[in-house]
A and B are shown apart, each in its own frame.
Chain A
Amino acid sequence: AQSVTQPDIHITVSEGASLELRCNYSYGATPYLFWYVQSPGQGLQLLLKYFSGDTLVQGIKGFEAEFKRSQSSFNLRKPSVHWSDAAEYFCAVGAQNQFYFGTGTSLTVIP
């Protein structure tokens, strides 16, 4: 069965510091991979997606993610975090006409 694991429930970083959010998936083939961001009380916004090709993908708001097949991972990174990046981040897999979401990582940014 397909599954997505985000091992970090909550992360706190200082503004200006680098960020890496982890995501591991379980799927028999190469899935379609997504990262979404959610502000409190809002819907989800797509940050970036991986379908095929270059394993390093660029997204909006300065985010990037790297697909590593050998590790079944799709970690999200940002070189310098801004206070406005504080939000909930979800990793998702698209497979068999469905989307499977991780439980999310809550990001707090301190001045």
Chain B
Amino acid sequence: DGGITQSPKYLFRKEGQNVTLSCEQNLNHDAMYWYRQDPGQGLRLIYYSQIVNDFQKGDIAEGYSVSREKKESFPLTVTSAQKNPTAFYLCASSFSGDTEAFFGQGTRLTVV
């Protein structure tokens, strides 16, 4: 089945540690996105990538990093520089930035 897979579903991190969230898609989509979701704030764009080996910062990129070495994969690293990382993280992909986006099931990150 085609789709987007995010792993893990739940993730716990100690303060000061970096952690990487996985996002894999087999939809042959060129574009991939990372969003952060907090209650009452909707979805805020962290990073997006339109093509392999290229990505752009979104509205809240500080404290996050990404890579796009393969078309299918767009991992997100939450670094220790992110002051308030506890949130629900959503990965999405699309054929382009103007066609519909398809979403993974999300990763809930909790800092303990």
Contacts and interface: CB of A to CB of B under 8 A. Distances in A.
Interface residues of B, number: 29
A44 B94 CA distance: 13
A9 B6 CA distance: 28
Contact of A94 (B41, B90, B97, B104): B97
Contact of A41 (B33, B35, B101, B106): B106
Contacts, number: 63
* Interface SS of chain B: strand
A74 interface: no
Contacts of B92: 44, 99
15 contacts: A9-B40, A43-B106, A44-B90, A46-B102, A49-B100, A90-B42, A96-B97, A97-B31, A97-B48, A97-B50, A97-B98, A98-B58, A99-B45, A99-B92, A103-B41
Contacts of A96: 97
Interface string A9-44: 100000000000000000000001010100001111
Contact of B105 (A32, A43, A92): A43
* Interface SS of chain A: strand
Interface of A: 9, 32, 34, 36, 41-46, 49, 90, 92, 94-99, 101-104
